[in-house]
Amino acid sequence: MKIDNAGKALANYSGPAKTAPRDHVKTDGAEQESVAINPLASKIGAVERSLGAEPSFDAAKVDAIKQAIASGEFRVDAGAIADKLITSARELLGR
């Protein structure tokens, strides 16, 4: 999907969303529509709300790393990074 500077999706857009047929219920001569929400949508909404409540990063950890870099004490474990990259590549390739 391609996104422009305004954050709008440019590709994979096929026009307005198609809606499923709705059940029509008549009560007292007036017609009402009933809508059913997919249970999976409710679960996804609950997960999104719980994730939104948690901070996206640990500010204390960021500050500690920042200080370690500034003082020259921060060390990079190239072997650990390489191992994680290989593991990630294997997972992506399905091996």
Give the per-residue pLDDT at 81: 96
DSSP assignment of the chain equals: --B-TTS-B-SS--SSPPPPPPEEEEETTEEEEE----HHHHHHHHHHHHHHHS-SS-HHHHHHHHHHHHHT-----HHHHHHHHHHHHHHHHT-
Q: Which of the pair, 77 or 9, is modelled with greater confidence?
A: 77
Q: Please indicate, yes or no, whether the overall pTM of this predicted structure exceeds 0.75.
A: no
Tens of pLDDT, residue by residue over 9-50, are: 555 555 555 555 555 555 666 677 887 778 888 888 888 888
Q: Where are the domains of the chain?
A: 57-94
